[in-house]
Amino acid sequence: MLSRAQLRGQKLVLHATKARALFTDECGMKHRLFMSKTEEWMRKVHHVRKQLLTLTNQFINIEQEMTVFLQRVFKLLEQLPQKIIPVPTGGMKPQAYLNQNTLVEMTLGMKKLKEEMEGVVKELAENNHFLER
């Protein structure tokens, strides 16, 4: 026959086993849910990152095209007779066709967008590093 202390010990072991099983089941479920959400987030982050890289490449291509077009415009301006349109001295200044304020605003806007995109890329890299751990 078991003593009271032994019965208490057995009950304690039984309760501890049940508590451990409940804790393990609940934590396991939460962990699986978290991992599922993490995979979903990473897919979205990867998709956004690909879109940002595509957008960055598009901006780079647009910038290169604009440079080529500006060079062509200034070449054409140099070929026009001086009496019709005087060629500005001191290098390439697109004031003949674009307002200087517009160019400044465009440049500042592009720089701000570039900084924001770099910030997003950095944040995505940090999140990716965090999730890989």
DSSP one-letter string for 64-121: HHHHHHHHHHHHHHHHS-TTTSPPPSSS--GGGTS-HHHHHHHHHHHHHHHHHHHHHH
| 20 or 80, higher pLDDT | 20
User: Over the stretch 23-82, which tens digit does the pLDDT of each residue have?
Assistant: 888 888 888 899 999 999 999 999 999 999 999 999 999 999 999 999 998 888 888 776
- Least confident among 113-117, 118-122, 127-131: 127-131
Contact assessment for residue 85 and residue 96, using Cβ atoms and an 8 Å cutoff: yes
Using the 8-state DSSP alphabet, how is residue 56 labeled?
H
More confident residue, 99 or 102: 102
95, pLDDT greater than 50: no
